[in-house]
Structure formats: C-alpha cells, structure tokens
C-alpha cells in the first residue's frame, strides 16, 4: 500500500495538504486558482497513486507522514474562515467593479463615443476595478500562504 508516494507531484502534495486541512474540492480549487475539475483530477490521482479511496484515508495518510504540519483545530479554523470570508467579499467587489466598468463602456458605445477610456469617469471605474482586483488577488495569496506555508 502507498507505493505511489514517491511519484506524487508537487501540486499533488499541495492538494494532499489542503485535503488534510479539511478543505473541499471547491475550496482547494479556489485557494490554488485552478478549476474545480482540475482540483478533482488531482484528488483522484492522489487516491489512485496512494491506493486510498476516501478523503478520510488521505487525511490520515497526510497526518501520519508529516504533510499536515501546522494544521491545528480552533484558531487555525477561525483564521481559515476569516480568509474565506475575505476572499468572498473581495471577489464580490472585484466583480461589481468589472460589471460597472463594462456597463459604462457599453453606454459610451451606445452614444457613439469612440474612446471609452477618455473620460475621468472611465478612469475612475478602471482604477476601482484594478484596486478591487489587487485586493482579491492579495486575499487569495494570503489564504494560500495560510494553507500551504512552505509554498
């Protein structure tokens, strides 16, 4: 059993650590900035290589083999929840900023204006979108550093 451990890729080890931290496949995808399908594929490959066919088994394996370092209940879980809330709120602000800029551009085109970025209003909307994007990105990076300290 576990004959495939030496063949795990660095990404699969990251996924294993996140599974051991109790993250769902969706949360793993968000924290690694990959699609849900890709995260599910990594999890399936882990199970196949390690010949473990349940998440609880992967978690036990990670703990026994030192891949769950730094994972503690209580305050760590609170920090994780705070980070996920931060990601949710910054993602919403980023999406709203992108939508606002898109609507502004559409209205300018409807009026026949040729350069949608020439006004102060457009620059403010574009700048707000850039700030929201940076905040969202920073939140994702903070979550990843929390979940995978050595990454």
Q: What is the pLDDT of residues 95-138, one digit of tens each?
A: 998 888 888 877 776 766 666 555 666 778 888 889 999 998 88
Task: For residue 48, give every residue at least 6 positions away whose Cβ sits within 8 Å of its Cβ, in sequence order, or none.
Answer: 4
CA distance 117 to 120: 8
Q: How confident is the model at residue 45 (pLDDT cuts 50, 70, 90)?
A: very high
Closest CA to 15 of 37, 35, 40, 51: 40
Task: For residue 83, give every residue at least 6 positions away whose Cβ sits within 8 Å of its Cβ, in sequence order, or none.
Answer: 139, 142, 143, 146
Q: Note the pLDDT of residue 139.
A: 86
Q: What is the pLDDT of residues 51-85, one digit of tens each?
A: 999 988 888 888 888 887 655 545 566 777 788 88
> What is this structure's pTM?
0.50
Q: How confident is the model at residue 1 (pLDDT cuts 50, 70, 90)?
A: very low
| Helix, coil or strand: residue 129 | helix
Q: What is the mean pLDDT of residues 38-53?
A: 93
Q: Note the pLDDT of residue 79.
A: 74
CA distance 118 to 123: 8
* Whether the predicted pLDDT of 38 surpasses 90: yes
Residue 62 φ/ψ region, left for φ over 0, alpha for ψ in the -120 to 50 degree band, beta for the rest = alpha
Locate the domains of the chain by residue range: 5-64, 75-147
CA dihedral 30, 31, 35, 38 (to 10 degrees): -140
Range 5-64 has CATH code 1.10.10.10? yes
Q: Note the pLDDT of residue 131.
A: 92
Q: Note the pLDDT of residue 50.
A: 93
């Amino acid at each position: 059993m576990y004959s495939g451990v030496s063949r795990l890729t660095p990404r699969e080890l990251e996924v294993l650590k996140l599974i051991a931290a109790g993250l769902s496949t969706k949360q793993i995808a968000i924290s690694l900035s990959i699609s849900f399908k890709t995260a599910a594929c990594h999890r399936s490959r882990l199970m196949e290589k390690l010949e473990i066919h349940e998440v609880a088994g992967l978690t036990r394996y990670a703990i026994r083999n030192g891949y769950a370092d730094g994972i503690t209940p209580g305050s760590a879980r609170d920090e994780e929840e705070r980070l996920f809330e931060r990601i949710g709120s910054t993602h919403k602000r980023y999406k709203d900023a992108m939508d606002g800029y898109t609507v502004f551009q559409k209205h300018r085109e409807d009026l026949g204006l040729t350069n949608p970025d020439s006004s102060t209003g457009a620059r403010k909307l574009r700048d707000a979108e850039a700030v929201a994007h940076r905040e969202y990105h920073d939140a994702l990076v903070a979550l990843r550093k929390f979940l995978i300290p050595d990454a």
